[in-house]
Amino acid sequence: MLTDVECKNATCPPEKTRSRLACSGGLYLEVSPNGSKRWFWKYRKEGKEGRMALGSYPAVGPKEARKARDIAKAQKSNGHDPVKVRKVEKLKATLPDGTTFKAVALEWYTKQAPQWSPSHAARSLRQLERDLRVGRDS
């Protein structure tokens, strides 16, 4: 396992594009020639190799990187792709409160309904509400 001192002193030879220092459990520190250092976790899903960025050193130290790796491992063992989980969390964080598919769909309906005949508008609303109900149940 890498220590903070080893991370601090890590360098990349100028002739290489990057250097990797293994920590444990697929975790490694990637050092580039310009001196930047980033943590990555290498894992396999469905026979394919993937890697997940865990942060930059020194903002994320070895202890925090191992903790982030353990969380990602737990997500993977529960059948979730940790990279996709992170993307979903990031998207949820960027959406303002109340912005759900239902809210967007009903807003779209109110903008479109004046252009439609009353029967088409009523039918569209029924179908939209049915689809929203079905999506919630499944």
Instruction: Give 118's pLDDT tier (boundaries 50, 70, 90).
Output: very high
Q: Could you list the residue range(s) of the whole structural domain that residue 125 is in?
A: 101-137
Same domain, 22 and 84: yes
Q: Looking at residue 138, what is its pLDDT? A: 45
Q: What is the pTM of this model?
A: 0.65
Residues 52 and 110 in one domain: no
* Same domain (yes/no): 53, 86: yes
Helix (H, G, I), strand (E, B) or coil at 7: helix
Q: 27 and 89, same structural domain?
A: yes
- pLDDT value at 27 more than 70: yes
Contacts of 62 (CB under 8 A, 6+ apart): 1, 2, 3, 4, 7, 23
pLDDT at 87: 87
Average predicted confidence (pLDDT) for the chain: 86
Compute the average pLDDT of residues 73-92: 86
What pLDDT is stored for residue 12 in this prediction? 87
